[in-house]
A and B are shown apart, each in its own frame.
Chain A
Amino acid sequence: MSGLLPFLGSRLLRALVALWLVSSVVFVVMRLSGDPVPLLLPPDAPRSEIFRVRAELGLDRPLPVQYLVFLGHALSGDFGRSIHFREPAVRVVAGYLPATFELGLTAFVLAALVALPVGIVSAVRRNSLVDQLSMGIALIGQSAPTFFIGILFILIVSLKLGLLPTSGRGDWRHLVLPALTLGAFAMASIARLTRSAMLEVLGADFIRTARAKGVAEALVIVKHALKNAAVPIVTITGLQFGSLLGGAVVTETVFAWPGIGRLAIQSIYNRDYPVVQCVVFVSAVLFIVINFCVDLVYGLLDPRVRTG
């Protein structure tokens, strides 16, 4: 385990550089995208009023100065005040996180619970009816646009069958459709990748050897095959988890779910720089943390990763 500390150190350094780059890019892009002030004021606001509000928000200062101020504050966890809500941006974003985690985690657990067994079974029973059916469905899940799946669910499951609420956040019943909609793509990708990774390993010599030794089939699949196929599966699963937490804009919009994806999009429309920066920062942190966990899991699965 002597390699672990330098490993952690270099990861941390890389994470900090990534966060700095992401924040800076967003800072510049948001400033290029337009002025928030006309959006805040009534359409007939006089010019003097526009200048006054620009000054009030610090937008009249040169861009480099604005950038330094932003970096300084960001380092102490202060992303400024939301222009749109008149509240600290951090507090605004924090208010959206519980809904985001609730939906993202459920979608992820749902996706993983369904996709992993399906992928494994499809690989083991290659070309069987189960395989063809599940991979067919997976193809649809991966290629159908999210808004289409979402609206289809609402119209059929909620409106026509009357089984579940159409939208909004509430008890578990409100969670089912958005989680299925959001998880569909991840579910499909994980299932397909699990299948192909397993197929590759199942054809390898050591599997034949294990079988020749008379190892029970279940043990061959789980211990010999799955463990060796795990690295790509963990990678894709981790990546999907990240995008489930940060990239649920469409699902959140269709189901009126109060998550950070929707907050991000609206804040971009409103040119609410502080909130956009804070959302992107939080999403980046989530991604980096998940990737870091994936890396740690690699280490557990394959000792070569630690030294290499």
Chain B
Amino acid sequence: MNNLTRRELLQGAAALGVAGATAPRSAQAQTTQKRELVVAQGGDISKFDPHFSTSSNDIRVSFNLFDNLISRRPDGKLQPGLATEWKMTGPTTWTFKIRQGVKWHNGDPFSAADVKYSLERTWDPNVKSRVNTVFTTVDRVEAPDAGTVVIHTKKPDSLLAARLAFYGGQIVPKKYLDAVGGDQFNAKPVGTGPVRFVSWTKDDKIVLDANPDYWGGKIDVDRVIIRAIPDLAPRIAALLKGEVDLITQLPPDHGERVAGNPTTRVLSALYAGFYVLAVNSKRPPLDNPLVKQALSLGIDRELIVKELWRGRGIVPSGFMVKGDTLFDPSLPPLAYNPAQARDRLKKAGYKGEEIVIETTSGYTANDKPMSEAVVAMWRDVGVNAKVEVVEYSVRAQKNRDKSFKGLWWSDPTSTLGDPDGMMWRLLGPGGPQDYWRHARFDELGDAARFSADEKFRANAYREMTKIFLEHLPWVPVIQPYEDYGAQKYVEWTPDPLQQLEIRRFNLKVRRA
């Protein structure tokens, strides 16, 4: 059943006189007459209000209904959004020039007051947003005139521009929200983005129309439909049959099916995140760096990438993902060396204490198979290792209570293109994965957070990487690719942070 050939498809269609069989299919495959783009993702959105959700299904929509002051493009670079220019005008002051002539989808004019309102809304205790921790470095926002916004930070914050480019940074309409309230805004969102809201049937489809007056140019289709097709087989079938133009969440072992079909292809982005085994470094014997080094040396990551990910990933070299601004390409990938691993265990005086990976099954991609593979590799070097499968809510509870027994899977994401937004946010003092402290590491992390000197920061993270590789509060395993299936007539670049960038510069539909 898996190998429907093009000929079979043609024969079936032709025999039954189905539409589409009239024109030669191979010519059709490369172009289309369609003026709409249908995207199928694995789950539906939960809300339109961009300040109330951070899930990848939701941001694929909200980043297109709304604009940020600054936009992070799929190549990782920060580009003007609703702000045309920005610069640090003092150690703790940023000044933004606001784009003129932009209109909200309901026709209201957009101005600096909307920006001030939006940012303040994220941390307003009365709004109770879900993104109130995004701008904790901001002290206050001023809008001295309709074309200028000034943001004062509490301490120097070199990453403010990056923060403004991700979730929490979407700009919402002050006047409309004041008039209709949060619920109505969530039901009928109004933004400045390249598409505007038409309708939503939950778990079925979202209909969005191109904004003809978009400041970045009208997008290359008239209408965008986002469908939720949770099951993988029908999602792929819908793509192969041509009912949808683009599908998200294509697992590595299904890529061939899409790539082998004459009208479709696989598009991918190196995901800006890792799968790591986070370590409870407080529990013996995991408090001993030598033991953790042995565990890291005992994992054959190349084999995991090859067998479990069909080659769709790369081996990490430290705590920075490839794609981060400060990523050091000269660092070698984390090594596999069973002899050294045994040696370190001996030096550590390891006496066969049980080491447990607590894994969910299916919460993060390949979590259970990877756990089983890793545990088998560890046993080969003499570690008394074991897998325990826990339910997702149990994992969430353990995460909150910091009560993991040994190691567990975490999927940290580099939302700011900088280790401060990933490693330091999670592993730093008081962070959600604070199980290990090191005086020099902490000193550097803190200094790098509040420094605007790029050279200083690069050096600090270089030294931190050395300490990290010795102590391994995380055992990074893979930086995966994120794959999509697309019709060949869709020219589109996927985003490392799972956004669905459909603006003019990134989406082109080839027409006959």
Known: A49-B133, A151-B234. A258 touches B201 (CB 8 A): yes
Say yes or no for A161: interface residue by CB 8 A criterion: yes
Across-interface contacts of A269 in B (CB, < 8 A): 392
Q: Which residue of A has the minimal Cβ distance to B200?
A: A95
The reply to whether B426 and A44 form a contact with Cβ atoms under 8 Å apart is yes
The reply to whether A160 and B12 form a contact with Cβ atoms under 8 Å apart is yes
In angstroms, Cα B394 to Cα A35, docked, is 9
Binds B, one of A85-93, A203-211, A219-227: A85-93
Q: Which residue of A has the minimal Cβ distance to B20?
A: A162
Across-interface contacts of B43 in A (CB, < 8 A): 266
Q: Encode contact with A along B223-250: 1 for CB under 8 Å, 0 otherwise.
A: 0000111110110011011010000000
In angstroms, Cα B204 to Cα A42, docked, is 25
In angstroms, Cα B132 to Cα A86, docked, is 17
The reply to whether B237 and A162 form a contact with Cβ atoms under 8 Å apart is no
Q: B130 touches which one: A41, A87, A152, A159 (CB < 8 A)?
A: A41
The reply to whether B397 and A34 form a contact with Cβ atoms under 8 Å apart is yes
Question: Size range of the interface on B?
Answer: 35 or more
The reply to whether B18 and A163 form a contact with Cβ atoms under 8 Å apart is yes
Say yes or no for A56: interface residue by CB 8 A criterion: yes
Say yes or no for B23: interface residue by CB 8 A criterion: no
Q: Encode contact with A along B389-432: 1 for CB under 8 Å, 0 otherwise.
A: 00111101101100000000010000000000000011000111
- Which residues 104-137 of B have a CB within 8 angstroms of A? 128, 130-133
The reply to whether A86 and B47 form a contact with Cβ atoms under 8 Å apart is yes
The reply to whether B8 and A168 form a contact with Cβ atoms under 8 Å apart is no
The reply to whether A33 and B393 form a contact with Cβ atoms under 8 Å apart is yes
Across-interface contacts of A271 in B (CB, < 8 A): 393
In angstroms, Cα B393 to Cα A158, docked, is 38
The reply to whether A86 and B49 form a contact with Cβ atoms under 8 Å apart is yes
The reply to whether A86 and B202 form a contact with Cβ atoms under 8 Å apart is no
Across-interface contacts of A263 in B (CB, < 8 A): 202-203
The reply to whether A56 and B128 form a contact with Cβ atoms under 8 Å apart is yes
Say yes or no for A134: interface residue by CB 8 A criterion: no
The reply to whether B231 and A161 form a contact with Cβ atoms under 8 Å apart is no
Binds B, one of A104-112, A184-192, A193-201, A249-257: A249-257
Across-interface contacts of A86 in B (CB, < 8 A): 47, 49, 52, 182-183, 186
Across-interface contacts of A99 in B (CB, < 8 A): 204
- Which residues 124-170 of A have a CB within 8 angstroms of B? 147, 151-152, 154-156, 158-163, 165-169
Say yes or no for B54: interface residue by CB 8 A criterion: yes
A interface residues, tally (CB under 8 Å): 53
Say yes or no for B386: interface residue by CB 8 A criterion: no
Across-interface contacts of A161 in B (CB, < 8 A): 12-13, 16
Q: B241 touches which one: A92, A96, A147, A158 (CB < 8 A)?
A: A158
How far is the CB of B340 from the nearest CB of chain A, in Å? 33
Q: Which residue of A has the minimal Cβ distance to B132?
A: A49
Q: B204 touches which one: A38, A46, A256, A266 (CB < 8 A)?
A: A256
Say yes or no for A50: interface residue by CB 8 A criterion: yes
In angstroms, Cα B232 to Cα A147, docked, is 12
In angstroms, Cα B106 to Cα A184, docked, is 48
Across-interface contacts of B240 in A (CB, < 8 A): 159
Most A CB contacts (10 A, CB to CB) among B1, B21, B241, B399 go to: B241
Say yes or no for B84: interface residue by CB 8 A criterion: no
How far is the CB of B169 from the nearest CB of chain A, in Å? 14
The reply to whether B425 and A160 form a contact with Cβ atoms under 8 Å apart is no
Across-interface contacts of B228 in A (CB, < 8 A): 256
Q: Which residue of B has the minimal Cβ distance to A48?
A: B133
Q: B47 touches which one: A44, A85, A256 (CB < 8 A)?
A: A85
Known: A161-B12, A163-B18, A256-B229. A169 touches B204 (CB 8 A): yes
Say yes or no for A84: interface residue by CB 8 A criterion: yes
How far is the CB of B456 from the nearest CB of chain A, in Å? 25
Across-interface contacts of B203 in A (CB, < 8 A): 96, 256, 258, 262-263, 266
The reply to whether A165 and B231 form a contact with Cβ atoms under 8 Å apart is no
Q: Encode contact with B along A22-36: 1 for CB under 8 Å, 0 otherwise.
A: 000000000001110
Across-interface contacts of A92 in B (CB, < 8 A): 202
Say yes or no for A215: interface residue by CB 8 A criterion: no
Across-interface contacts of B54 in A (CB, < 8 A): 42
How far is the CB of A37 from the nearest CB of chain B, in Å? 9
Q: Which residue of B has the minimal Cβ distance to A33?
A: B393
Q: Encode contact with B along A248-278: 1 for CB under 8 Å, 0 otherwise.
A: 0000011110100011001001010000000
How far is the CB of A158 from the nearest CB of chain B, in Å? 6
Say yes or no for A39: interface residue by CB 8 A criterion: yes
The reply to whether A39 and B233 form a contact with Cβ atoms under 8 Å apart is no
In angstroms, Cα B425 to Cα A138, docked, is 58
Q: Which residue of A has the minimal Cβ distance to B432?
A: A44
Across-interface contacts of A96 in B (CB, < 8 A): 202-203
Say yes or no for A304: interface residue by CB 8 A criterion: no
How far is the CB of A55 from the nearest CB of chain B, in Å? 10
The reply to whether B133 and A162 form a contact with Cβ atoms under 8 Å apart is no
Say yes or no for B46: interface residue by CB 8 A criterion: yes
Instruction: Show 21 A/B contacts (Cβ-Cβ < 8 Å), sorted by A.
Output: A38-B399, A38-B400, A42-B130, A44-B432, A45-B432, A85-B46, A85-B202, A86-B186, A151-B233, A154-B237, A160-B9, A161-B12, A161-B13, A166-B238, A167-B243, A168-B238, A256-B228, A258-B201, A258-B203, A263-B203, A269-B392
7 cross-chain pairs, A with B, having the tightest CB-CB distances, nearest first: A34-B393, A258-B203, A38-B396, A258-B204, A256-B229, A162-B13, A166-B237
What is the interface of chain B, defined by CB distance below 8 A to chain A?
1, 4, 8-9, 12-13, 16, 18, 20-21, 43, 46-47, 49, 52, 54, 128, 130-133, 182-183, 186-187, 201-205, 227-231, 233-234, 237-238, 240-241, 243, 391-394, 396-397, 399-400, 410, 425-426, 430-432
